[in-house]
């Protein structure tokens, strides 16, 4: 059984259909990338998985359980965390406050301290700036914080929405290296990303989304070599 299974999901914003019967799976331990252009439905897919948008048809199953009766905040305690597009940090709180908010539902003080040390090892800059007001940091530092905050909830699955958006190339490399490290440490990753080259470089498998429909799915290596993907998303003619 897959850790995450989306089956024939249709989702709408008012009368506008954003997802048209998509189905995908994420197995435990994988990095799965969802690529596509602007307006393809990538963020809508994550919003539907995480309970922020209810599908009109179809189902989302996580760890064998149908999620239709749960609110978004319930899913954090069940082991699902999201790094939203645009970071979504608490800009007026300090770095440390943000990280502690990530662990808000947890009661295991020793485990929280251990995970705080872990995220500081991933992002030493956050430890250096733990007393700094988060909104005064650079975009790259805020992306690190958003990722670290999600990890503080101790997720088995982390959803990442456009983590490289607006970042300098050197920071893009850092974020993707960190995604690989997070995965090696045992966290499954569903990655939404417009930088298809980087997304497919770190992923095991991938799906291509166009106007609310999945048009291709394969191993990341096969997608990188697919002529349609190369032309549309990798800049290879």
Q: Where residue 51 sits, what CATH number does that domain have?
A: 3.40.50.300
Counting as low any pLDDT under 50, the low residues of the chain are none
How buried is residue 86: exposed, middle or buried, by Cβ count under 10 Å (0-12/13-18/19+)?
middle
Same domain for 182 and 111, yes or no, is no
Q: Are strands 205-210 and 188-192 parallel, antiparallel or unpaired?
A: unpaired
Q: What pLDDT is recorded for position 86?
A: 80
CA distance 120 to 78: 24
Q: Are residues 186 and 231 in the same domain?
A: yes
94 pairs with which residues across the strands?
133
pLDDT confidence of residue 142: 94
The answer to whether residues 182 and 214 belong to one domain is yes
Q: Are strands 205-210 and 213-219 parallel, antiparallel or unpaired?
A: antiparallel
- What domain range includes position 54? 1-79+155-237
- In this structure, the answer to whether residues 127 and 220 fall within a common structural domain is no
Do 184 and 69 reside in the same domain of the chain?
Answer: yes
Residue 176, pLDDT score: 93
Sign, CA dihedral 45-48-54-58, equals positive
pLDDT score at 170: 86
Q: What does residue 109 show for φ and ψ, rounded to 5 degrees?
A: -60, -40
Do 116 and 216 lie in one domain? The reply is no
Q: Are residues 203 and 147 in the same domain?
A: no
Model confidence, pTM: 0.93
Q: Are residues 60 and 101 in the same domain?
A: no
Alpha helices in 18-165 (DSSP H): 42-49, 72-78, 95-102, 109-122, 124-128, 139-151
Same domain (yes/no): 39, 148: no
| Residue listed under structure tokens 């149908």 | 66
Residue 136 and residue 165 share a domain: no
Total number of domains constituting the chain? 2
Q: Please state the φ and ψ torsions of residue 76, each to the nearest 5 degrees.
A: -65, -45
């Amino acid at each position: 059984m897959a850790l995450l299974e989306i089956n024939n999901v249709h989702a709408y914003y008012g009368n506008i259909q954003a997802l048209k019967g998509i189905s995908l799976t994420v197995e435990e331990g994988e990095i799965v990338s969802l690529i596509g252009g602007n307006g393809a439905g990538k963020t809508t897919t994550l919003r539907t998985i995480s309970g922020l948008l209810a599908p009109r048809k179809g189902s989302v199953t996580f760890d064998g359980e149908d999620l239709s009766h749960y609110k978004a905040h319930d899913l954090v305690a069940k082991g699902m965390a999201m790094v939203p597009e645009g970071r979504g940090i608490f800009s007026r709180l300090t770095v440390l406050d943000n990280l502690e908010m990530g662990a808000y539902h947890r009661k295991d003080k020793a485990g929280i301290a251990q995970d705080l040390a872990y995220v500081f090892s991933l992002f030493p800059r956050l430890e250096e700036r733990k007393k700094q007001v988060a909104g005064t940091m650079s975009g790259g530092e805020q992306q690190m914080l958003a990722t670290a905050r999600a990890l503080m909830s101790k997720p088995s699955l982390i959803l990442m929405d456009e983590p490289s958006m607006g970042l300098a190339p050197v920071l893009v490399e850092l974020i993707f290296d960190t995604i690989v490290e997070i995965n090696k440490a045992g966290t499954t990753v569903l990655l939404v990303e417009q930088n298809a080259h980087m997304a497919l470089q770190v992923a095991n498998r991938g799906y291509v989304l166009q106007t609310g429909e999945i048009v291709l799915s394969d191993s990341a290596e096969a997608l990188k070599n697919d002529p349609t993907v190369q032309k549309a998303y990798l800049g290879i003619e």
